[in-house]
Amino acid sequence: EFEPHNIIVTGGCGFIGSNFVRWVVAHHPECHVTVLDKLTYAGNPANIAGLPESQVELVVGDVCDEGLLNMVVPGHDAIVHYAAESHNDNSIADPEPFVRTNVVGTYRLLEACRKYDVRLHHVSTDEVYGDLALDEARRFEPDDPYRPSSPYSSTKASSDMFVRSWVRTYGVRATISNCSNNYGPYQHVEKFIPRQITNVLCGIRPKLYGDGRNVRDWIHVEDHSRAVWDILTRGRVGETYLIGAGDERSNIEILREILRQMGWPEDDFELVRDRPGHDRRYAIDPTKLERELDWMPAHTDFAEGLSQTITWYRENEDWWRPAKEVTEMKHAERGGSGL
Ligand code: NAD
Ligand code: TDX
């Protein structure tokens, strides 16, 4: 077992990265965390505010900055790499930052890991496998072919391949995880669930892309964080692990549940222009993670997890309000849907 004492978390001021930082602080007081984050529109230092300064340090900077990595990386025993441009709609409007951060940034981190012999865990997405038909019996398996659809998912697929070849060619000690759709507190209002919750809180009609029948496989962000720790500490170097809670739901079903819980008429939403190239369905087979590392999701009641998430947005308007107007303006400029 690998026992990290001094880790770097890239993108630790984003939604999932900050959840991981809070999770490590809560469960592993022996592990110091250096957060390396550029603080883009998606990064917010408030996401890690209040954590003990003796255990968490924030370095504001870009994962593409080689000089900075040469200063920050030595002395750390692992990097957990979350930093990315993460929103599909943004990638369709302007792919360039995705290529830079997701591809070049991962390459720079791999080079730093090689140079300073540091363990890497690379956080990726199920979207690298493309999509499934609604009625298809199979789910994504670790060795399935890569078939990304969007600029976002092709940059993530590319970064995964860089990691695999740095393991094979240079012997870099790295693992990869590909996770399904996350939900929970601190998620940016551009994403589906927080967008609809905050729409209702603002009195805006919720917006469903296309026919609303697209299916995503949902996992609570805390279950993702625990899985990443398990893979970092007990996973086999060079391996890919799929993380998912086996909870497939259509967008329209989730929207109706949000509306029901928030006391808004269940049919009061708009169908808007579909996302170009919109993936139909994702579904993860997490058997390898469950068998090898004994991981199981703890948040298995989706309605309950959603209810807690709604409560969090109700109680943290100061957190999301500044981003809300800007995000809705972007949607409007792109023609009413996300684009
Ligand atoms: P997010 O957009 O909320 O956060 C991204 C963070 O990375 C932000 O804090 C941002 O400031 C930082 N960042 C961006 N560019 C950077 C750069 N060049 N240098 C340093 N920091 C930079 O994203 P998220 O939803 O928390 O996703 C985190 C990771 O998990 C991503 O790699 C994403 O591909 C992956 N992932 C996300 C999901 C999901 O459902 N959201 C599912 C599977 C995998
Ligand atoms: O307003 C909306 N209406 C809508 O119907 C938005 C923002 C989205 N949608 C649909 C599109 C998708 O089918 O909801 C679904 C979820 O959309 P997103 O929240 O944009 O997520 P998705 O595109 O599935 O990608 C997410 O999961 C995989 C994350 O954003 C990625 O970072 C992760 O890799």
Pairing of strands 6-10, 78-81: parallel
d(CA 130, CA 163): 19
How does pLDDT run across 231-268, given as a tens digit for each residue? Answer: 999 999 999 999 999 999 999 999 999 999 999 999 99
How far is the centre of ligand 2, averaged over its atoms, from the C-alpha of 169 (Å)? 35
Instruction: Kindly state the average pLDDT of the residues 105-134.
Output: 98
DSSP annotation of 204: P
**Contacts of 106 by beta carbon, 8 Å cutoff, 6+ apart:** 63, 81, 122, 159, 162, 163
How far is the centre of ligand 1, averaged over its atoms, from the C-alpha of 220 (Å)? 16
Question: Counting atoms of ligand 1 from 1, which one is nearest the CA of 16?
Answer: 26
Give percent of the chain above pLDDT 70.
99
Average pLDDT, rounded, for the chain: 97
- The residue with greater pLDDT, 333 or 221, is 221
Half-sphere exposure of 72 (CA within 13 A, CB side): 26
187 lines ligand 2 (CB under 6 A): no
Per the annotation, the verdict on 116 as an active-site residue is: no
Question: Tokens standing for 133?
Answer: 């038909």
How does pLDDT run across 195-209, given as a tens digit for each residue? Answer: 999 999 999 999 999
How does pLDDT run across 33-68, given as a tens digit for each residue? Answer: 999 999 999 999 999 999 999 999 999 999 999 999
**Contacts of 195 by beta carbon, 8 Å cutoff, 6+ apart:** 189, 206, 207, 327
Instruction: Kindly state the average pLDDT of the residues 143-152.
Output: 98
Residue 336 has pLDDT above 70, yes or no: no
Per the annotation, the verdict on 127 as an active-site residue is: yes
Question: Counting atoms of ligand 1 from 1, which one is nearest the CA of 47?
Answer: 9
Q: What is the pLDDT of residue 103?
A: 99
d(CA 219, CA 216): 10
Would you tell me which CATH number, out of the four given (3.30.70.20, 3.40.50.720, 3.10.640.10, 3.20.20.70), belongs to the domain 6-183+219-243? Answer: 3.40.50.720
Q: What is the pLDDT of residue 299?
A: 98
Catalytic residue among 37, 89, 111, 127: 127
Residue 338 has pLDDT above 60, yes or no: no
Q: What is the pLDDT of residue 337?
A: 54
* Long-range contacts, stretch 255-261, CB < 8 angstroms, 24+ apart: 255/196, 255/206, 255/208, 255/212, 257/302, 257/303, 257/306, 258/193, 258/196, 258/197, 258/200, 258/206, 258/306, 258/310, 259/200, 259/206, 261/303, 261/306, 261/307, 261/310
Q: Which ligand lies nearest to the CA atom of residue 106 in the structure?
A: 1
Question: Tokens standing for 248?
Answer: 């497939």
Compute the chain's Rg from CA coordinates.
19
CB atoms within 10 A of CB 45: 14
Place of tokens 């592990």: 31
**Contacts of 108 by beta carbon, 8 Å cutoff, 6+ apart:** 63, 64, 65, 66, 69
Q: Which residues pair with 182 in a beta bridge?
A: 219
Catalytic residue among 129, 152, 209, 282: 152
**Contacts of 37 by beta carbon, 8 Å cutoff, 6+ apart:** 10, 11, 12, 13, 14, 17, 43, 58, 59, 60, 61, 83
Ligand 1 is surrounded, with C-beta below 6 A, by: 10-11, 13-17, 37-40, 42-43, 62-64, 82-86, 101, 105, 123, 125, 156, 179, 181-182, 188
- CB contact burial 281-311 (16+ within 10 A = b; e otherwise): bbbbbbebbeeebebebebeebeebbeebbe
**Contacts of 167 by beta carbon, 8 Å cutoff, 6+ apart:** 173, 174, 237, 238
Q: What is the pLDDT of residue 335?
A: 76
209 lines ligand 2 (CB under 6 A): yes
What spatial distance separates the first Cα and last Cα of the chain, rounded to whole Å? 45
Q: Which ligand lies nearest to the CA atom of residue 184 in the structure?
A: 1
How does pLDDT run across 270-319, given as a tens digit for each residue? Answer: 999 999 999 999 999 999 999 999 999 999 999 999 999 999 999 999 99
pLDDT classification of 221: cutoffs 50, 70, 90: very high
125 lines ligand 2 (CB under 6 A): yes
Q: Which residues pair with 249 in a beta bridge?
A: 216
Per the annotation, the verdict on 152 as an active-site residue is: yes
Q: Please, where are the H alpha helices in 28-86? A: 66-72
**ipTM above 0.85 for this complex:** yes
CA angle 49, 17, 111 (to 5 degrees): 120
CATH topology of domain 192-215+247-277+299-326: UDP-galactose 4-epimerase; domain 1 (3.90.25)
Instruction: Kindly state the average pLDDT of the residues 172-177.
Output: 98
Domain boundaries, the chain: 6-183+219-243, 192-215+247-277+299-326
How does pLDDT run across 89-100, given as a tens digit for each residue? Answer: 999 999 999 999
Question: Tokens standing for 135?
Answer: 């009625």
